[in-house]
Chain A
Amino acid sequence: MTNKKPIDRQAMANRIAMEFQDGWVVNLGIGIPTLCSNFVHPDKEIVYQAENGVVNYGPMAVDGEEDLWLVNAGGQYVLPQPGMATMDHSDSFALIRAGYVDVTVLGAYEVAANGDFANWRVTGRKGGGIGGAMDLAVSAKNVYVIMDHTTRDGQARLVERCALPLTAVGVVKLIATNLGLIEVTLSGFVLKEIAPDYSPEEVQALTGAPLAIAPGLREFQVAS
């Protein structure tokens, strides 16, 4: 066993959250992406939107302060805050399809070098969970993905072409994995930041497509 330390889930989420710009409308997918809302932006106002019909909701509720009628897209209780607005599902997806969401952060099983990604059905299963991912992925101004760099048995999740059924075509711009931060460019994957204990060669070996090294490659940035 190696004693190398990959990046943990909250740090991956924090790194993606560091990309959010002041005033952005942000939609967080189920799983690791919801952790992005734990990141505190000292000088930015972020507007969190959830597809179940709420804009400008507050932080996660702790035990005892939940409002039973207020959940985020992952079904987690969140707190109301001044300026919050609720709406029905068709208005919520009207907002999404019309492009009011600046970034959607999603989990994925695979991302391809051309920006395709797959996140709704695994091999060998008949059913799947699309949820709002297809609507968000084709509509948000930016699509970012947070996922482990490989499957549990070491198979690459960053690939030349997705083998799993696609969620959307050519939309992913940025990926945070437990090994680094990868930009998806017209010429493929570019490694921008890397986990402290890893070399670019090691990350390339765990990637299923060519991984260009950014000229200014730096260590994976963590929130200060």
Chain B
Amino acid sequence: MRNKLFDTFDEAVADIPDGASIMFSGFAGPGTPRNLIAALHRQGAKEIHAISNTPGRWGDSSLVDLSLLVQSRRVAKVSAAFTAATHPSAKLPFTELYEAGEIDAELMPQGTLAERIRAAGAGIAGFYTAAGVGTEIADGKEVRNFDGRDYLLELPLPADYAFIHAHTADDLGNLQYRLTQRNFGPIMARAAKVTIVELDEPIVLSGDIDPDAVHTPGIFVDRMIVIPADATKEVKNQR
């Protein structure tokens, strides 16, 4: 049996090449893989295609998130449900680079983002959704009418890697998340070729997690690292 447990975050991201597509879990804090992002920043991979709910820096947080890679020009493209802050007066670090044309973006409804990721990890070639009908999001997309209602064809969104933050795991990689930490974790774990997980709690032995209580089966998990107790505040689960 392959050992999925890595000692350091640096080893876990060492092989990621320039140009890789990477999914980042997380929604407004919970689930954000801060330690993996910090490690990839140290590693130096460039031209990343980042797939994430936002391009990072939600609010005034000083915590590590995707904006670290964006600001250091490691990201070529972002696929997300936000390319601007929700309040027009607030600016994300991403915004300046995007408006200057130095970074590309694909903006989509959040449910469409989630379902495209789900489809990629579920062997589904495409799906129809009503989200975005009659808006700019529909531009260039097939519109099909089912039972009198229009829907847009949306295609799967796979990735080379997924960075996920979960709460507990056993040695086979069976994962549990805590509360709203779960968000994109389970669907990204299935949609990526290589799934790398940072964990709040030490690994338990297989058998210690009730099979009925597994959120992400270990078959979808390739690498795991436990967040060390002495992790700095920039990479801890806090805001």
Which A residues are closer than 8 A to B by beta carbons?
30-31, 50-54, 67-71, 73-75, 80, 86-90, 92-93, 96-97, 121-122, 125-135, 138-139, 165-169
Contact = CB atoms under 8 A, between A and B. Distances in A.
B114 A129 contact: no
B84 A121 contact: yes
B135 A167 contact: yes
Contacts of B8: none
Contact of A139 (B27, B130, B135, B177): B130
Interface stretch (B40-48, B64-72, B105-113): B105-113
A15 to B, nearest CB: 22
Contacts of A88: 182-187, 215
B110 A132 contact: yes
Given A68-B30, A131-B109, 5 more contacts: A31-B86, A67-B179, A68-B29, A127-B84, A129-B83
B204 interface: no
A106 to B, nearest CB: 11
Contact of A69 (B85, B95, B180): B180
A52 B183 contact: yes
Contacts of A68: 29-30, 237-239
Contacts of A92: 114
B134 interface: yes
B135 A165 contact: yes
B99 interface: yes
A138 B130 contact: yes
Contacts, number: 155
A42 to B, nearest CB: 29
Interface of B: 27-30, 58-59, 81-88, 92, 94-95, 98-99, 105, 107-112, 114-115, 117-118, 129-137, 167, 177-187, 215, 237-239
Given A75-B28, A75-B58, A86-B179, A129 B111 contact: no
Contact of B84 (A71, A75, A128, A165): A128
A97 B84 contact: no
A54 B180 contact: yes
Contacts of A31: 86-87
Given A80-B179, A138-B130, A131 B110 contact: yes
A127 B97 CA distance: 11
Most buried by A among B99, B178, B179: B179
Contacts of B187: 88-90
A126 B30 contact: no
Nearest to A137: B131
A139 B112 CA distance: 13
